[in-house]
Structure 1
Amino acid sequence: MNNQSKVETVEHTAINQRTITNSKESVTLKNKKKLKDAGLFALFVGPVFLAFTLIVLVPFFTGIYYSFTDWNGITGDIKWVGLDNFKYLFTEDKQFQQSFLLTTKYTVVAIILTNVIGFGLALLVTQKLKASNILRTVFFMPNMVGGLLLGFIWQFIFVKGFASLGELTGIPFFELAWLGDAKTAFWGIVIVSVWQGAGYIMIIYIAALQNVPQELIEAAKIDGANRWQILRHITMPLVAPAVTICLFLTTASSFKIFDANLSLTNGGPFKSTEMLALNIYTEAFVNNRYGIGEAKALIFFIVVAAITVLQVTISKKREVES
């Protein structure tokens, strides 16, 4: 019995040692796999994260620091002024306040028109038309032209083209001083921006409309539903996620409008069409008041971020309810 017990003890000891060895090998393999995964992650994500840090994060936090200084953007003399820049913007800088209100007005108008026209174009080209592919290309082409170039092209159209048409036809619409009057210049910027952006929004709506089950539409037609009822009660709820995306894109792009504003009117006449992005650019790089320009940019960032987050939250909630 004693010999048998000794043999069993030796066997148990050997088994335990093998178990411990296997466990250590398993832990070692897992650690190697984790290190390998971490290495691959760093290899693929590291360069992008480094570029993002150098191009976005560092300038962003540096800009926040400069917003509390009176730096002119050129010299090395940087003086900390605290909240003085922000007090100046909200109490004395009337042009900043005017630009902010004008940008808000423009954003509301551009969001509505761009989405309505984009959705209408998407409905048009998703019909069974022979020229639907050609129409998609034509409607999307303005989005491929740069904003500055597009603005200069439309500047020629508003100033020269419309004037010539007005002389030939006598139609008052073409005889307006489109870029010489504050009201018409504002609508000129809206026309160019919507004309450029509607085609891009159209593509997103097309993708959403093509995913609407045709069985539901056919069943609704059999039940006697007209086109408006089908659009309202079937199509719109099913394309709600696309509406959320398009509202987010148009909100962000409308608030940040710069190139069309610069090339069309350059803020004129008499700064009556100077949007917020152009106002910030002028303050920092034309007036050489970089600290105040950064303060404006920081306020601009906070407002745009808050509005877009609020818009996405409300839109997502409506998606769930519908």
Structure 2
Amino acid sequence: MEKALKRYFPIFVLPTLAAFIIGFLIPFVQGLYLSFCRFTTVGNAQVVGIGNYLKAFADSTFTYSFWFTVLFAAVSTVVINVLAFLVALLLTRAIKGTNVFRTIFFMPNLIGGIVLGYIWQILINCVLSLAGKPLLALNTAAGYWGLIILMAWQQIGYMMIIYIAGLQSVPGDLLEAAQIDGATSWQTLWKIKIPMVMSSITICVFLTLTNSFKLFDQNLALTKGEPSHTTEMLAYNIYNTFYARSGPQWKGIGQAKAVIFFVLVVAIGLIQLRATRSREVQQ
């Protein structure tokens, strides 16, 4: 069997490798090249050097969107993971109906981001309004917290499943020994359960952090960056730079922003992975 696997290994790898090269690697390299160009289409690109990057950093809307996204990502990551972990703790107890509640909490994750955005836009604007006008279009704070609520409602159920899997993998012998030694529920949680599920925490924090930075469709559907681009996140700012602004120079600037965005997300993701993996406990 081992010889057969080694012999036919290239045949099985080739389709996936071809899809990766055609669907990701080639477009990525081409996008990196276009970030140094002035263009309207790929065929008429003219190299302009690092000018696009300098203009991208000089764009006040881009820097504002960056800090707005950082603030959003920090708060949403904490809120989602804390609530998901608490729900997972409740649903790993021996109570009736846990499977039903798990299904209910997970269901919002099955709904597309655009649909979720419009659902919450209707809910918030119908319940809250200013002088009879939609609140999300007039109030930056409402738009910010609306995005937090939307993201949490969508992601908590998914992270809950990961935390449940981690909590169920904690050895029962450890919990029984802690109970015999007189450990309280709070001490068991902090000294045993949380250290033992750090691998699940690493995964969930990574997913929520990167998803928060990459948020686009919910931002588009819920606020569209209103009022006056004050709720515009990084991905939506790049989209507007590339498509909403006229002139060939903006496409190159939008592409440069996309490369900067990619580097930021990768760097933040790697830093987070290193920080949380160092706290993982081997079972």
Shorter-chain TM range is over 0.9
Query: Distance in 2 between the 1:79 and 1:194 partners?
Result: 43
Shift of 1:287: 1.9
User: Do the aligned residues in 1 keep the contact of 2:196 with 2:281 (CA within 8 Å)?
Assistant: no
Amino acid at match of 1:89: A
Does the Cα contact within 8 Å between 2:136 and 2:226 map onto a contact in 1?
no
Match of residue 273 from structure 2: 312
> Shift of residue 284 of structure 1?
1.1
- The answer to whether the 8 Å contact 1:159/1:179 transfers is no
Cα separation, 2, equivalents of 1:118 and 1:101: 25
* Residue deviations 1:208-234 (CA, integer Å, cap 9, x gap): 000112222222222222111110001
Matching residue's letter, 1:117: L
For residue 262 of structure 1, what is the aligned residue in structure 2?
A: 220
Query: How far does residue 104 in structure 1 lie from its aligned partner after superposition?
Result: 0.6
> After the TM superposition, which segments of 4 or more aligned residues of structure 1 sit over 4 Å from their partners?
36-39
Alpha-carbon deviation of 1:76? 3.9
The letter for the 2-side match of 1:81 is V
Give the alignment partner of residue 17 of structure 2, picking from 37, 49, 58: 49
The structure whose residues are more often helix, as a share, is 1
The CA distance in 2 between the partners of 1:123 and 1:183, in whole Å, is 31
**Equivalent position amino acid for 1:85 in 2:** N
What's 2:256 paired with?
295
- Which whole-Å CA distance do the structure 1 matches of 2:234 and 2:282 have between them? 35
Q: Which of 16, 25, 31 is the equivalent residue of 1:63?
A: 31
**Equivalences for residues 205-220 of structure 1 within 5 A:** 205-220=163-178
Q: Which residue of 1 aligns with 2:70?
A: 104
- Check conservation: 2:85, 2:160, Cα contact below 8 A: yes
- RMSD over aligned CA atoms reads 2.2
Partner letter of residue 271 of structure 2? L
CA distance in 1, matches of 2:55, 2:137: 31
The residue type equivalent to 1:307 in the other structure is I
Give CA deviations for 1:225-249 in whole Å, capped at 9, x if unaligned: 2111110001011001111111111
Identity of aligned residues (%): 44
CA contact (8 A) 1:158 1:179 kept: no
Tell me by how many angstroms 1:42 deviates: 2.0
- Tell me how far apart the structure 2 counterparts of residues 321 and 156 of structure 1 sit (CA, whole Å): 47
Give the TM-score normalised by structure 2.
Answer: 0.92
Cα drift, residue 124 of structure 1: 1.0
Q: Any residues of structure 2 matched to 1:1-322 within 5 Å, and which?
A: 37=5, 40-72=8-40, 74=41, 76-90=43-57, 92-160=58-126, 162-163=127-128, 177-287=135-245, 289-319=250-280
TM-score by length of 1: 0.81
Structure 1 CA distance for aligned equivalents of residues 32 and 177 of structure 2: 57
- Unpaired segments of 5 or more residues in structure 2? none
Instruction: State the shift of 1:178 in Å.
Output: 4.4
> Any stretches of 5+ residues in structure 1 without a counterpart?
1-32, 167-174
Counterpart-to-counterpart distance in 1, 2:122 and 2:161: 28
Q: Once the 2 structures are TM-superposed, how far is the Cα of residue 206 of structure 1 from its aligned partner?
A: 0.4
